[in-house]
């Protein structure tokens, strides 16, 4: 099913993200984890894609498996920054042949060593090519705290509007740990004329070290309430996991209470985390 249709049909959605392995060696372990998540029957599952395109085959294979064998709608991520237009066309043809209808169109991070191919500069250019390639439902990424390369949020929202106008059917947000940041962002993008559904991306932080890496990469703001949890439980894996799931659950309940009812959880191939969050929300997301 196209996600644009799903968002019209269902008042609230809960979806999970998985990431494919870089090589076929690790494929079976990841496949098993994604299958366990698929058995929970989320509204859809997104499957990430390596920025360099190296894991594109494993990414397509995981997406195809959850659709064919578990009936779960996949959202296949696709990055363009290191790809040729020809490679993108071939990949889209493969996805289409296998019944995949939803693509999250991304630029990808620019590698530290620079680019060897330069056929795409921005996700908006990829969106135009996806539209030309077939009848896909297309999503884009958005950043409630601004993208790290943007001069300021106003400029980021201007480019986001251009991206949506090129053909985004919906947006998924970068993770955030303070819901007020999302509420302010939604107000600003609606004012700027961006009216597509916005899926809120929530990351349950289940290990103390993970959060240091996340903050370094994305510059995400951490509220004191969250920092206190990591300070207190960061060195105790089982306590951190319980607290991280509780924090994410609390965030989602507040979002739903305030009318943000499409929630995407960055479950990072962890079926137990996905299952616990789903159980915590069983009455809330009805």
Q: Is 150 in the site for ligand FAD (CB under 6 A)?
A: yes
Give buried/exposed letters for 204-239 (b at 16+ CB in 10 A, else e). bbbbbebbeebeeebebebeeebeebbeebbeeeee
Among 131, 147, 161, 188, binds ligand FAD (CB under 6 A): 147
Those residues with Cβ within 8 angstroms of residue 41's Cβ, 6 or more apart along the chain or in another chain: 70, 71, 72
Q: Which of 6, 37, 55, 77 lies at the binding interface for ligand FAD (CB under 6 A)?
A: 77
Q: Which stretch binds ligand FAD (CB under 6 A): 84-92, 100-108, 230-238, 276-284?
A: 100-108
Q: For residues 108 and 208, which CB has a smaller minimum distance to ligand FAD in the complex?
A: 108
Tell me if 174 contacts ligand FAD by CB under 6 A.
yes
Q: In this complex, which beta carbon is closest to ligand FAD, that of residue 122 or of residue 183?
A: 122
SS3 label, residue 41: coil
Minimum CB–partner distance for residue 104 and ligand FAD (Å):
6
Decide: 266 and 191 in contact? Cβ < 8 Å. Answer: no
Of 155 and 231, the one with the shorter C-beta distance to ligand FAD is 155
Q: What angle do CA 71, 8, 127 make, to 5 degrees?
A: 80
Residue showing tokens 């951190």:
240
Count of residues of this chain found to bind ligand FAD when the rule CB under 6 A is applied:
23
| Segment lying near ligand FAD (by CB under 6 A), choices 88-96, 99-107, 185-193, 229-237 | 99-107
- Distance between CA atoms of 168 and 105, rounded to whole angstroms? 9
Considering only residues 103 to 142 of the shown chain, the ones binding ligand FAD according to CB under 6 A are 104, 106-109, 122-124, 141
The kind and range of the H/E element at 77 are strand 74-79
Site for ligand FAD in 3-22 (CB under 6 A): none
Q: Considering 5, 17, 35, 36, which one is annotated as catalytic?
A: 17
Beta strands in 160-281 (DSSP E): 170-173, 198-202, 262-265
Alpha-carbon gap, residue 276 to 283, rounded angstroms: 13
261 is catalytic: no
Q: Tell me the β-bridge partners of 44.
A: none
x-marked contacts with ligand FAD along 21-60 as a string, rule CB under 6 A = ---------------------------xx-x---------
3 contacts 169 by C-beta, under 8 angstroms: yes
Provide, rounded to whole angstroms, the least separation between the CB of residue 143 and ligand FAD: 6
Within its chain, how far is the Cα of 48 from the centroid? Answer: 8
Q: How far is the CB of 98 from ligand FAD (least distance, A)?
A: 18
Residue 79 found at the interface with ligand FAD (CB under 6 A):
yes
Q: List, by residue number, the catalytic residues.
A: 17
Chain residues binding ligand FAD by CB under 6 A are: 48-49, 51, 77, 79, 104, 106-109, 122-124, 141, 147, 149-150, 156, 159, 163, 172, 174, 201
């Amino acid at each position: 099913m196209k996600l644009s249709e799903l968002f019209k049909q269902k008042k609230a959605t809960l979806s999970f993200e998985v990431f494919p392995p870089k090589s076929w060696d690790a494929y079976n372990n990841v496949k098993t984890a994604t299958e366990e998540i698929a058995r929970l029957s989320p509204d859809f599952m997104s499957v990430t894609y390596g920025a360099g395109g190296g894991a594109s085959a494993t990414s397509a294979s995981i997406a195809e498996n959850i659709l064919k064998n578990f009936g779960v709608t996949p959202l296949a991520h696709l990055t363009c920054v290191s790809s040729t237009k020809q490679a993108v066309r071939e990949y889209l043809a493969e996805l289409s042949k296998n019944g995949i209808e939803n693509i999250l169109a991304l630029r990808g991070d620019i590698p530290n060593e620079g680019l060897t191919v330069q056929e795409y500069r921005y996700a908006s250019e990829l969106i135009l090519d996806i539209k030309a390639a077939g009848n896909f439902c297309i999503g884009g990424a958005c950043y409630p705290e601004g993208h790290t390369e943007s001069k300021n949020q106003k400029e980021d929202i201007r480019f986001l509007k251009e991206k949506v106008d090129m053909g985004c059917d919906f947006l998924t947000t970068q993770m955030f740990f303070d819901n007020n940041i999302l509420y302010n962002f939604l107000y600003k993008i609606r004012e700027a004329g961006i009216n597509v559904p916005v899926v809120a991306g929530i990351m349950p932080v289940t290990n103390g070290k993970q959060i240091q890496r996340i903050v370094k990469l994305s510059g995400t703001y951490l509220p004191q309430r969250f920092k206190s949890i990591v300070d207190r439980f960061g060195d105790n894996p089982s306590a951190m996991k319980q607290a991280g799931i509780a924090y994410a659950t609390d965030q989602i309940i507040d979002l739903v209470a305030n009318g943000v009812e499409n929630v995407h959880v960055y479950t990072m191939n962890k079926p137990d985390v996905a299952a616990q969050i789903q159980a915590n929300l069983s009455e809330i997301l009805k």
